[in-house]
Amino acid sequence: MTITKATYTLCKSVVAAQARQELQELILKLSTSAGSSDGHFGYLARRQGCQLLGFLIVEQERATISLGSLPVFILPLADSERMLFRSAHAEITHLNQLCVEPVLSRWPATRLALDPYSQHVQLAESPKANPAKRLLSEVERAELTQAFVQHSGVRAILETPAALVGQLDDNQIRAAVLSLLGLIHQAGVGHVPSAIEQLAFQAPRNHPQRGVTRFFVALLSVRESLRSLNQMIYQAILADRVPVLDEDAVISVSDTHGNVLGTSAVIAFQPDADTIVLEPGDIALVKPIANYHSLDGLARLEDLRFEHSRDYGSTYTVSTRLLDNDLSPFGNLVESL
């Protein structure tokens, strides 16, 4: 079973979980003007770009936020609410660790690099899962962790000779992976950073830099898969289905690129009730349109532009990176190096 398929199955179980409804209602309450914080809590949490952790960060940092440039007063969460977020987040981070357990056993120093939350504000106290508020089903969780064994990045990491990167510590590896990610983001969707392009196409197969970069790229790919997985779970808490960009929504598809990094496209669509809430970082399902484009699968939305006018209507234009069967936007790069 592929990681994507296992994730879908897991998300179905999330939708059916009892704790999901409580979480959904809580997030809704914090995100709408009817809630106690007039929607500011949810807005600031979403801006963190780290799913449930965003709510815990906002709560932890609310004193600092109130002193900031925005005149926002954030009320603390009730104990039960805080525990609900902490428990669900703890389950997700535990799942992440289980997914990369073979890598962590061999390369413990990759822990920070693989943690999709490592660049965010750290919580003062590690959250713990509450068995009474279970969100993730054990059976589906086990299937997913099993699927991760076949992740192309996981296999590439495990094949890397110890001599190549063995002397690096947690922070060095994390810094290398994040700088790689920074380079890719800087280049923008559809473009390949020149350093990566040169290495992929000009450096000889046995060039030592190639092996080292492949190791970091593999780590990045696995990290991004975990990020996608966490996002899928988060979206499953909020909605029953992944938003779909198909012939009933898509207005145009342009700048389609298939390159050494993966596949990307700029998609313009007319929002509906499911897609109007999309934000950068969210995942949508892109469906092919006969005689027009053949893009098919989950895609991460990056830059997003919303235009609205009474005379021309509403359009969203999003830069997307398609996710492979490992839920990674950069799986192709692992294979190319």
Q: Give the single-character DSSP code of 77.
A: P
Short-list 60, 120, 127, 47, CA closest to 88: 127
- Per CB under 8 A, contacts with another protein among 270-299 are 270, 272, 289-293
Kind of pairing between the strands at 244-245 and 283-286: parallel
Q: Give the single-character DSSP code of 139.
A: H
Choice between 102 and 297, CB closer to another protein:
297
DSSP for 194-245? HHHHHHHHTS-TT-HHHHHHHHHHHHHHHHHHHHHHHHHHHHHHH-SS--EE
Q: What tokens appear for 321 in the block? A: 């990176």
Taking CB under 8 A as the criterion, the residue among 78, 142, 239, 251 binding another protein is: 251
Short-list 313, 333, 172, CA closest to 263: 333
Q: Considering the rule CB under 8 A, would residue 303 count as an interface residue with another protein?
A: no
Q: Considering the rule CB under 8 A, would residue 249 count as an interface residue with another protein?
A: yes
Q: Give the single-character DSSP code of 307.
A: E
Residue 298 has φ and ψ, to the nearest 5°, of -75, 145
- Give the interface segment with another protein, choosing from 44-52, 95-103, 185-193, 305-313 (CB under 8 A): 305-313
Q: Supply the minimum distance, in Å, between the C-beta of residue 295 and another protein.
A: 12
Taking CB under 8 A as the criterion, the residue among 254, 280, 294, 296 binding another protein is: 254
Taking CB under 8 A as the criterion, the residue among 57, 92, 229, 253 binding another protein is: 253
Choice between 159 and 246, CB closer to another protein:
246
Q: Supply the minimum distance, in Å, between the C-beta of residue 269 and another protein.
A: 8
Q: Considering the rule CB under 8 A, would residue 313 count as an interface residue with another protein?
A: yes
Q: Considering the rule CB under 8 A, would residue 255 count as an interface residue with another protein?
A: no
DSSP for 251-262? EEEEEEEE-SS-
Q: Considering the rule CB under 8 A, would residue 304 count as an interface residue with another protein?
A: no
Residues that bind another protein (CB under 8 A): 247-254, 268, 270, 272, 289-293, 308-315
